[in-house]
Amino acid sequence: MVNAPGIRGSKGFTLLELMVVITIIGVLATIAVPMYQASITRAKEAALKEDLFEMRSSIDKHYADFGKYPESLSALVEKKYIRALPIDPFTGSDATWEAVAVLEEDGVYDVRSGSDLVGRNGVPYNEW
């Protein structure tokens, strides 16, 4: 078999071809990583909203049953209103929830995240 003109019997890629492929992979990674990080933040925010909704709903149910707010968030677990305190998605702990007390009486009226980070909407997570 006769080789075509200009082609030597070598197999493989040239340095230029490898550099082009590496550059394309780098550009794609530069685009993909920020999108991935934004999707993780969106998922954490959705989990935080759901956790806050469930805990606030449990506080309201406790108030409807007993006519007073629970003494603490752990009282909701003890009285079986929730199975366990959820893990705050931004702090990674169930001990960082901030309980908002009622001024007139003892008890937990509301709950907030213990995170000092700011959400995508510009509002700090501890104000949600």
List the chain pLDDT tens, one digit each, 128 residues: 455 555 666 688 899 999 999 999 999 999 999 999 999 999 999 999 999 999 999 999 999 999 999 999 999 999 999 999 999 999 999 999 999 988 777 889 999 999 999 999 999 999 98
Q: What is the model's pTM?
A: 0.75
Q: Are 101 and 126 in contact (CB under 8 A)?
A: no
Residue 38: C-alpha distances to residues 45, 90, 110, 114, 120 (Å): 11, 14, 28, 21, 9
**What single-letter amino acid sits at 122?**
G
What torsion do the CA atoms of 116, 118, 119, 124 make, to the nearest 10 degrees? 70
Q: Domain map of the chain by residue range?
A: 45-127
**Which H or E run contains 65?**
helix 15-66
